[in-house]
Structure 1
Amino acid sequence: MAAKKILMLVGDYVEDYEVMVPFQALQMVGHTVHAACPDKKAGEFVRTAIHDFEGDQTYSEKPGHNFVLNCDFATVKAEDYDALVVPGGRSPEYLRLNDRVLELVKAFDKANKPIAAVCHGPQLLAAAGILKDRECAAYPACGPDVSLAGGQYVELDVSKAHTQGNLVTSPAWPGHPEWLAQFLRLLGTTITH
């Protein structure tokens, strides 16, 4: 298996686990991961938020770490990458207002490259218009975004993930084991024991 080059689209208040864990795990298995944010350069950082499930009607939010970017957004071209990762948190709600971000998401999908989105990440997929007639899991509050974009919202336990074609989605970070495993399968990554 050849190592893949993966783009991760992030912004301020991206969910802490949803950026840190895949960024590190995908590199651990030999892939190159470039984390980029509009209007920011390599060496700058985005703030993260820690979302937790503590019995309230929605998740709680606490300050997370500063996540250092390793790629200049201005230089990013979809054709230079093999796959895309879209973490959740609050960043997808405003990244979807950036036309260049939406163009990148569309380009990855048009080329049928693997796309992994978790939690609120599907908000970007919906805004890019790539969910029509497709199944997509997401944080439950984003289910209407999926449906309004013409997709079929897949209701899953937070520890699960769903794959359809080139798209791997999960409701939240507790689904990382399944979400990352399904994404690795799409990438052609084989882990032997």
Structure 2
Amino acid sequence: MENAQKILFLTGDFAEDYETMVPFQMLQMVGYDVHAVCPGKKKGDTVKTAIHDFEGDQTYTEKPGHNFALNYTFSEVKPEEYAGLVIAGGRAPEYLRLHQGVLDLARHFADNNKPIAAVCHGIQILTAARVVEGRRLTAYPAVGPEVELAGGTFVSVEPTETVVDGNLITSPAWPGHPKFIKAFLDVLGVNIELGTPSKMASAV
């Protein structure tokens, strides 16, 4: 595939399960070559995901998710080859933001005005990279103070919503995936139209 058809997908151990699986698969579905990477790991290695849910407690619960196989090696990433960056949420971002290479990647996409999509705690990488100053964005509510401290404007929205500010697409959590991915594709310039149903589908 051409360089413009590559998307870099950043995840890690105990990233949120849906926030890893769903964007990765949806972007592949529309034809992108999605390179899923994690610092310190190579193609074929796996990350353990975690399932975050709300069950009446003051914060989310956490349960084991799937083992997600990476399909590219982090150390081989050349950021100039990618059209956009997607950052999964969950617990992974709190340690990934300590990796200088991760921060450098985030700055590359921000400095070159390439589309960046981050969900939930994924915004912690953007605040650590200091690329949210003067921007409007959302995140998991507990990350809101970090957004403000980094010079951004935190926008409180429902979990099903998404905030777009130029090349920056953010959502509070996985319930926002439909609007989150749609907004990312819009910024990438991808127009998806509903096709004519087949005769078999129409008969159902």
TM over 0.5: yes
Aligned to 1:24: 25
Amino acid at match of 1:110: D
Aligned positions of 1:29-178 closer than 5 A: 29-178=30-179
The runs of 5 or more residues in structure 2 that have no matched partner are 195-204
Deviations along 1:105-164, whole A, 9 cap, x unmatched? 000111100000000000000000000011110000000110110000010000000100
Q: Determine the C-alpha separation between the residues in 1 that align with 2:71 and 2:137.
A: 29
Identical-pair percentage: 60
SS at match of 2:192: coil
- Whether the aligned pair in 2 keeps the contact of 1:126 and 1:146 (CA below 8 Å) is yes
Amino acid at match of 1:142: V
Aligned residue for 2:127, secondary structure, equals: helix
Q: Give, in whole Å, the separation in 2 of the partners of 1:56 and 1:179.
A: 26
In structure 1, C-alpha distance between the alignment counterparts of 2:81 and 2:70, rounded to whole Å: 18
- 1:14·1:89 contact (CA, 8 Å) conserved in 2? yes
Alignment coverage as a number of residue pairs: 192
What is the letter of the counterpart of residue 111 of structure 2? Answer: K
Deviating above 6 A after TM superposition, structure 1's stretches of 4 or more consecutive aligned residues are none
Q: Would you say the 8 A contact 1:4–1:187 is kept in 2?
A: no
Which secondary structure state, in structure 2, belongs to the residue aligned with residue 14 of structure 1?
Answer: coil
SS at match of 1:121: helix
| Superposed displacement of residue 4, structure 1 | 2.0
**1:182 and 1:54 mapped to 2: Cα distance?**
29
- 1:159–1:175 Cα contact (<8 Å) kept: yes
Distance in 2 (alpha carbons) for counterparts of 1:175 and 1:57: 21
2:12 aligned residue: 11
Listed one character per residue, the Cα deviations across residues 64-122 of structure 1 (whole Å, up to 9, x for unaligned) are: 00000000001012101010000100000000000010000000111100000000000
In structure 1, list runs of 5 or more residues that go unmatched.
Answer: none
Distance in 1, matches of 2:85 and 2:132, equals 15
TM-score normalized by the length of structure 2: 0.92
